Structure 1
Amino acid sequence: MRLGLRLFLGFFLIVGLAAFFVMRVFVNEVKPGVRQAMESTLVDAANVLAVMATEDMKAGRIASGKFVRDLEVARQRDLRATIWQFPKRHVDYRITVTDEKGIVVYDSEGRDLGRDNSRWNDVYRTLHGQYGARSSPLVPGDRENTVMHVAAPLRDGNRIIGVLTLSQPNASIDPFITASQRSIMRQGAWLIGLSALIGLLMTWWLMRGINRLNRYAQAVSAGERVPPLPSRRDEIGDLGRAVETMRRKLEGKAYVEQYVQSLTHEMKSPLAAIRGAAELLQESLPEEDRKRFAHNIQTQEQRLTETIDKLLALAEVEQHGWLQKLEPVNVASLLTESGEDVSAKLAASGLVLSVDVHDQQATIQGDPYLLRQAVSNLLDNAIAFSPAGGTISLSSSTVDRYIEIRVADEGPGVPDYARDRVFERFYSLARPSTGLRSSGLGLPFVREVARLHGGEAELTSLEGGGALATLRLPKV
């Protein structure tokens, strides 16, 4: 599936689902919202009518007084109203009045006169000084057609002398609910259609830049000379500039030349020493001198092998723009395993390794092999510069959003002139015990591993002597 189609479908799916669920919520909330509004209106009307009916109730003429006559006139009126395209011709209210015992003394429809309504929720709660309301079927057993009843008290001073119940069928507002739901669905369909159009335009705009960048990269890889991409102030523009920079570096071959020159320079000294020792060994020499020159050849051979091995490892790390393997790595286990890797070197040098893990559960996300190699390189560096019988400290702690792995030794520390160069490729300081230099690739390897994990590495001197190497990595 093409990237543009994936982007469009993903955008449309997200917006479409969001709009669909929002519409469903609105549609589902319309009915209870309208009924709540109707109940609020019924409460107002019931209390106004209760005040108007109180005088007739106190006088004992509720069934034939002025209140009832006015209601009959209102019920006979032709309203001739049009509400949201729906005609309304007559009053839908039904009014029931009960006495202080809950017995119906007036029913606007004349059906329930004399019935005991004292157990109905609207009458019962109102007679006890509370808000009374209920919703019940228009016909017993019919749950589809219901009627809302709202009651208000008739008072003689502080005494409740009766209850006026105002009723309205819920079916009278169903057309408005249906119309609202249809309007929401119709406008929602327009919203989804407009979102699809916007998604199509955005996908076209993004894919236009990506396709242009793709054609440019293919032309560069084919060796064609093409002009740089037009400037853009977004991530695609940044990527285009990065490709252009890479193109210039590849064409100039500056990186390769520097690499080869540095390697050639580093190999000259051990090769010259091997050649000189080999020439001397061809002559008759005392046994002690012969052993010394043979040992020199072996030492230089080990130096060359170490340089080549570490150079290959560094080149492999440098060519990765991102980590190839990601998994949770427990810091405590990482430090323990790294210490075991150099245990033989520690014993041979008469050194003691002290391991201190601040948080046994601390975890980082990364490549366990590369992290273990990086910590082992820091330990190798500390072993090379530590005096016999000394102690090397390996510890970890949490600082803000990072896990800091520290390796401290009791050696001479880092000279000021070398502080800014220790992470350069092939740069190395002479070992205090032998005066020899290493390949100068261990610390650059550590720096590259830190970069791949989104962290950093540094090497500083400690007060009172010794060096402190810090590998700072983001914690999970």
Structure 2
Amino acid sequence: MPLGIRIFLAYFLFVGLAGYFVLSTVMDEIRPGVRQSTEETLVDTANLLAELLRDEVREGSLAQSRLPEVLRAYGQREPQARIWGVEKTEVNHRIYVTDANGIVLLDSSGEALGQDYSRWNDVHLTLQGKYGARSTREDPEDEDSSVMYVAAPIKADGKIIGVVSVAKPNRSLMPYIQRSQRRLGWLGAGLIGLGLLVGGLLSWWLSGSLRQLTRYAQAVSAGERAAVPRLRGGELAQLAEAVERMRVELEGKAYVERYVHTLTHELKSPLAAIRGAAELLQEDMPAAQRERFVGNIGNESARMQQLIERLLNLAVVEQRQGLEERVEVGLLELVEELVEAQRPRIQSAALRLEVDLQPGMRVSGERFLLRQALANLLDNALDFTPAGGRIRFDACRQGGFWLVRLFNQGDAIPDFALPRLCERFYSLPRPTSGRKSTGLGLNFVQEVATLHGGSLELHNIDEGVQVLLRLPAA
């Protein structure tokens, strides 16, 4: 399938889905929008009636006034109005008045005269000095049978002596809602059609530009001299320049240099463990201890071989959409394995290492990546902890995640460096040697955390630094 057609189909799918989503969302908002406008009108009406009825309610002459007759006549009126193409042939308001105890004094429908309405929210809240409103279904099974009630207080001498409520059935609003939805549907369909036409023209232009870039890239890969295509449009011109820069960097072996830096950084930890074990093996020690260090060397050698193989795939970690495997990994077992590998270094610096983890603390993810992430964090902690200092591993549960906490005693991270520590190639000098690392460790840990759906944070706390690694619980 030609690229232009694929671009157009993708655009068609995007515009169609986006248009449908926006259109359906707007249509769903029409109904509450109309009801909100109606409620605002009912508020004004209720407050107007409250002022008109104040004297009759205060004097107790409401039933003897002309208002009951007026309301009956009002209910029989036929407006014969045409509102935005909709015929209105009857009035729909219901009006009732209660005293200060919620007893109905007047009802335009004649249904509730003398009844206690103090339990209904419109009356109950208004008598408390609050905004009183409610929506009640006449038929509990029919959503469209709901009626909106809005009340206003009748006041005399600063006291509430009664409540007037104005009601309007939501069914009377449906013709206006349906008309608006129909008009919006036609307008939306027209806009989507116009958008697709523009998309077709755009895909035709874009595919032509991409064909020029493709021919240029093919010529470069074949070792031919080719001029950078002159393209209109800022992004496409930038893309052409980026391809040219990439060709220059590849020819200058920039990629190989970065890969070597990464490989060197990742091999540092196992090499240090092997070197430490080898130095200790030169001394006299019990056979069991010697066997343990020999086993460490074998394990770290196997780890290095696996690491080299996996590093070939690390270049695409940031592009991954998911993990290659997802298994249960015990935090305690993983940390103990890392600590044991670093035992010679820990002993030589007389560090106090505490592991407060339980066997039931298990995370879900790719074991190799999790091990490398924790190994990088431990390696950093060892680098920045002074001789005789303290390092502590623990974890706590946060919903569906384990928050792994690694504390190391030492100097606080400078404020200017704290937000940059996870940047690639950014590093601080080690306290003992003054040398910087390649600055890839924390960046790698952050990418692993993101790939697992977690996060990485670093904070200065009392007496040192704490790293928070959030990983999904198994």
TM superposition score normalised by structure 2: 0.51
SS in 2 for 1:129: coil
1:334 corresponds, among 267, 286, 293, to 267
- What residue ranges of structure 1 are gaps of 5+ in the alignment? 250-314, 347-365, 372-394, 411-461, 463-467
Per-residue deviation at 1:35? 1.6
Aligned mates of 1:172, 1:56 — CA distance in 2: 31
What is aligned with 2:102?
A: 102
- Within a 5 Å distance, the mapping from 1:391-470 to structure 2 comes to 400=420, 401=423, 402-403=425-426
What is aligned with 1:17?
A: 17
| Residue 111 in structure 1 maps to residue 44 in structure 2 | no
Note closer, same or farther for the CA distance 1:367–1:153 as it changes in structure 2 (3 Å cut): same
Computing the radius of gyration from Cα coordinates, the structure with the larger value is 1
What is aligned with 2:198?
A: 198
Code of the residue aligned with 2:16 in structure 1: it is G
What is aligned with 1:419?
A: none
SS in 1 for 2:144: coil
Code of the residue aligned with 1:8 in structure 2: it is F
Aligned mates of 2:9, 2:16 — CA distance in 1: 10
Per-residue deviation at 1:157? 2.0
Note closer, same or farther for the CA distance 1:405–1:330 as it changes in structure 2 (3 Å cut): farther
Q: Is the 8 A contact 2:42 2:166 kept in 1?
A: yes
Report the RMSD for the aligned CA atoms in angstroms.
5.1
Per-residue deviation at 1:97? 1.9
SS in 1 for 2:147: strand
Aligned mates of 2:117, 2:42 — CA distance in 1: 19
- Within a 5 Å distance, the mapping from 1:303-314 to structure 2 comes to none
What is aligned with 1:278?
A: none
What is the identity percentage for the equivalent residue pairs of Structure 1 and Structure 2?
40
Q: Deviations over 1:332-360 (max 9, x none)?
A: x42245669999xx9xxxxxxxxxxxxxx
Larger displacement relative to structure 2 (87-96 or 181-190): 181-190
- Within a 5 Å distance, the mapping from 1:178-189 to structure 2 comes to 178-189=178-189
Code of the residue aligned with 2:147 in structure 1: it is V
Per-residue deviation at 1:171? 0.6
What is aligned with 2:41?
A: 41
- What residue ranges of structure 2 are gaps of 5+ in the alignment? 280-308, 315-381, 385-412, 445-474
Note closer, same or farther for the CA distance 1:160–1:178 as it changes in structure 2 (3 Å cut): same
Per-residue deviation at 1:167? 1.2
Q: Deviations over 1:342-380 (max 9, x none)?
A: 99xx9xxxxxxxxxxxxxxxxxxx984799xxxxxxxxx
What is aligned with 1:145?
A: 145
Q: Deviations over 1:187-241 (max 9, x none)?
A: 3323322332222222111111222444567789999999985565656556768
Code of the residue aligned with 1:164 in structure 2: it is V
SS in 2 for 1:51: helix
- Within a 5 Å distance, the mapping from 1:52-451 to structure 2 comes to 52-139=52-139, 142-214=142-214, 232=232, 234=234, 236-237=236-237, 318=253, 331=265, 333-337=266-270, 368=311, 400=420, 401=423, 402-403=425-426
SS in 2 for 1:151: strand
Aligned mates of 1:102, 1:182 — CA distance in 2: 43
Aligned mates of 1:90, 1:240 — CA distance in 2: 69
Aligned mates of 1:246, 1:124 — CA distance in 2: 73
Q: Is the 8 A contact 1:7 1:203 kept in 2?
A: yes
Larger displacement relative to structure 2 (317-326 or 103-112): 317-326
Q: Is the 8 A contact 2:122 2:132 kept in 1?
A: yes
Aligned mates of 1:198, 1:321 — CA distance in 2: 43
Aligned mates of 2:231, 2:142 — CA distance in 1: 71
Aligned mates of 1:316, 1:338 — CA distance in 2: 31
Aligned mates of 1:105, 1:52 — CA distance in 2: 15
What is aligned with 1:353?
A: none
SS in 2 for 1:87: strand
Per-residue deviation at 1:403? 3.9
Code of the residue aligned with 1:334 in structure 2: it is L
Aligned mates of 2:139, 2:243 — CA distance in 1: 78
Q: Deviations over 1:406-436 (max 9, x none)?
A: 99xx9xxxxxxxxxxxxxxxxxxxxxxxxxx
| Residue 8 in structure 1 maps to residue 11 in structure 2 | no
Aligned mates of 1:128, 1:341 — CA distance in 2: 78
Note closer, same or farther for the CA distance 1:180–1:170 as it changes in structure 2 (3 Å cut): same
Code of the residue aligned with 1:170 in structure 2: it is N
Aligned mates of 2:107, 2:225 — CA distance in 1: 96
TM superposition score normalised by structure 1: 0.51
SS in 1 for 2:87: strand
What is aligned with 1:376?
A: none
Q: Deviations over 1:309-338 (max 9, x none)?
A: xxxxxx999497999999x9794x422456
The number of equivalent residue pairs is: 314
Q: Is the 8 A contact 1:62 1:105 kept in 2?
A: yes
Code of the residue aligned with 1:25 in structure 2: it is T
Code of the residue aligned with 1:39 in structure 2: it is E
Aligned mates of 1:200, 1:396 — CA distance in 2: 58
Q: Deviations over 1:47-86 (max 9, x none)?
A: 1112111222233332341434444554454433222211
Note closer, same or farther for the CA distance 1:325–1:190 as it changes in structure 2 (3 Å cut): farther
